[in-house]
Structures are given as C-alpha cells and as structure tokens.
C-alpha cells in the first residue's frame, strides 16, 4: 500500500496511556487517530469507564476516535489455557498479538500506512516483545508499525502528568480479569 497521508492508527487501551503518545505523534508530524479495541477489559463497567474517559479526552483534543466493540468471547478463546500466567507472560503476548492484529486490519481497511500502540508506555510491558509481534503483523500486511517506545524519555512520567491535570480515572490493574489484584 502507498499513501501520502500521515494518519497513524494509534491503538489505545485508556485515556491515561494516550495523553503523551498523542502529543508525541503530533510533534513528529503525524495525525494520530485513536483506535479503541480492547475486548480484554473486564468487567463491562470498567470497559465503559475507560472508554468514556477516552471519549471525553479525544473530544477535547480534537482527535478522531474509532471504537470497535468485539465480543470478548473471542478474546477469551485466544488466551484459553493461559489464565494463570503471570502478567508479562504468555497470556499477555497473545493479548498483544490479538489487539495488534485487529489494529493492523483496521489500518488496512482505512488505507492508513501506519499503526502503533500506547501499550509501550507502561513500565509493566515489554516493549521489545510488543515490537516483535507488531513488526511481524506489519510485514504480513505491508504496513508500517511505528516502533516508538513511549515510556522512554520520561514518557511515562509525562503521560501521568497529563492524567493528573485532566483528572482521568486511573485504573489499578492492566485490564483482564486475570490481572485484577496482580499488579
Ligand atoms: S494482563 Fe493485560 S496484557 Fe496481559 S492478558 Fe491481561 S489485559 Fe492483556
């Protein structure tokens, strides 16, 4: 695919993780379009809470937001047998792959060349693993994955500062039911 526009599909899990990546991508000359696709988030009240914060923030920042709500059953099937894995283990690798694959497919559908994810802003997440998974998917679909480690250069501190200023709801677990009380 060839395209001259600088739209980037930015997969995002919540408003907290999106603040700094939106700013950085804009500074880099890209137009981030947020893609909220997170069937891993449990329970549904938590899903709605994270999404509503993102709706509020993207409106304020004039960022386009695309929401794909999939049945979580498919996600559960994807991680079946890995429920007791520690955070950062095999279940998370599958979860990254699942969400990044759908992000790539959405980028293809929209005819965007670029996609990336806010997942790398978390100090709990292995950016190298995320990059390896995403690059494999990108190569398969002839897309470009922007391998930006958002936590670097004080990125995590910067996004937390934005979260505080914006008074975002801040969750205390990653997202799936298996990560509750495990951080
Ligand atoms: S802990 Fe987070 S990354 Fe790992 S499987 Fe659960 S939601 Fe996905």
Give the domain CATH number at 157: 3.40.50.620
pLDDT for res 4: 52
Q: At what angle do helices 15-27 and 155-166 cross, to 10 degrees?
A: 120
Q: Give the Å distance between the CA of 5 and the centre of ligand 1.
A: 32
Pull the structure tokens for residue 164: 């505080």
pLDDT for res 2: 44
| CB of 178 sitting under 6 A from ligand 1 | yes
**Minimal-distance CA residue to ligand 1 atom 4:** 92
Report pLDDT digits (tens) over 83-118: 999 999 999 999 999 999 999 999 999 999 999 999
* Dihedral angle computed from the Cα positions of residues 62, 19, 125 and 151, in that order, rounded to the nearest 10 degrees: 120
Q: Is 146 helix (H, G, I), strand (E, B) or coil?
A: coil
| CB of 179 sitting under 6 A from ligand 1 | yes
CB 71 within 8 A of CB 39: yes
- Any domain includes 137: yes
Q: How many domains does the chain have?
A: 1
Mean pLDDT by 10 residues, the chain (183 residues): 76 98 97 98 96 98 94 94 96 98 98 98 97 98 98 97 97 95 59
- Any domain includes 117: yes
- Any domain includes 26: yes
Residue 38 alpha carbon, nearest atom of ligand 1: 7
pLDDT for res 69: 87
Q: Give the Å distance between the CA of 129 and the centre of ligand 1.
A: 13
Q: Give the Å distance between the CA of 31 and the centre of ligand 1.
A: 27
Residue 95 alpha carbon, nearest atom of ligand 1: 8
- Any domain includes 1: no
Residue 182 alpha carbon, nearest atom of ligand 1: 1
**Minimal-distance CA residue to ligand 1 atom 2:** 174
Nearest to 137 by CA among 110, 79, 95, 98: 98
Q: Is 68 helix (H, G, I), strand (E, B) or coil?
A: coil
Q: Which domain holds residue 52?
A: 7-179
């Amino acid at each position: 695919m060839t395209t001259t526009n600088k739209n980037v599909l930015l997969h995002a899990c919540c408003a907290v993780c999106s603040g700094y990546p939106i700013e950085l991508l804009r500074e880099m000359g890209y137009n981030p379009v947020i893609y909220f696709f997170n069937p891993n988030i449990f329970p549904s009240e938590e899903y709605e809470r994270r999404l509503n914060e993102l709706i509020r923030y993207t409106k304020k920042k004039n960022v386009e937001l695309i929401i794909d709500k999939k049945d979580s059953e498919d996600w559960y099937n994807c991680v079946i047998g890995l429920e007791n894995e520690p955070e950062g283990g095999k279940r998370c690798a599958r979860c990254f792959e699942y969400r990044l694959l759908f992000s790539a497919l959405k980028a293809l559908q929209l005819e965007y060349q670029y996609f990336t994810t806010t997942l790398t802003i978390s100090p709990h997440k292995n950016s190298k693993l995320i990059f390896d998974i995403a690059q494999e998917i990108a190569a398969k679909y002839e897309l470009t994955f922007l391998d930006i480690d958002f936590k670097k250069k004080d990125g995590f501190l910067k996004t937390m500062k934005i979260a505080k200023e914006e008074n975002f709801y801040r969750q205390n677990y990653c997202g799936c039911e298996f990560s509750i009380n495990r951080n």
